[in-house]
Amino acid sequence: MDKTIVTSTAVLLEAIYFAATAHGSQSRKGNGGEPYINHLIEVVILLSTVGKVTDTDTLIAAVLHDSLEDTSVTAADILDKFGEQVLLYIEALTDDKTLSLSERRAMQLAHIATACQQVKLIKLGDHISNIGSLPTSWDKGRLEDYIAWSYKVAKACFTSSSELAYEYEHRYKQALYDITLLVK
């Protein structure tokens, strides 16, 4: 096998192991509370198989996209292990947790409009994964609110990949249908 493929696979596995350790016992709010690492692996699979992304730094940043926001991992850790480019992508995908939810959502929308294509690819993969695994504990109103905001963010990323955009639209329609079946 091509040595480059072996090397990029090894570093990607290293990133997955790093993220799995950092996220520890965190679980998802949807999909039966599956381990959080499944979300990160799903985003990488979406980027790779649907989006045909082959750039290693983009795929590594996809694995680590929630690590600054949701774990004790620092920017210095990422810089040291995975380099500056990966860190820059992750920083562009990290919310300021000192802000309120509505402020964070507004900031995400503002930032994504001017983000680079790689950041848009990861953000779109993130939203495809999230809209396909909505929290079962949320009521209809909260779900409708999230889905409407998610669509705005995803739409701003559609130019990065028509294949991922199509996959998002598919899951978005499914999510809208699913909530019509909810009583409250």
- Catalytic (active-site) positions: 69-70
Inter-CA distances, 3 with 6, 10, 37, 54, 173, Å: 5, 11, 27, 15, 41
Closest CB 9 distance from Mn ion, rounded Å: 22
- Per CB under 5 A, 167 contacts Mn ion: no
Please count the residues of this chain forming the interface with Mn ion, following the rule CB under 5 A: 2
| Pick from 162, 160, 163, 134: nearest CA to 148 | 134
Closest CB 123 distance from Mn ion, rounded Å: 9
Question: Coil, strand or helix: which one is 40?
Answer: helix
Cβ proximity to Mn ion, 41 vs 79, nearer residue: 41
- State phi, psi for 30 to the nearest 5 degrees: -110, -170
Binding mask 59-98 for Mn ion (x = CB under 5 A): -------x--------------------------------
Binding mask 122-141 for Mn ion (x = CB under 5 A): ----x---------------
Closest CB 38 distance from Mn ion, rounded Å: 11
Question: Which DSSP letter does residue 2 get?
Answer: -
Cα angle 156, 109, 116 (rounded to 5 degrees) comes to: 55
* Residues at the site binding Mn ion, with contacts judged by CB under 5 A: 66, 126
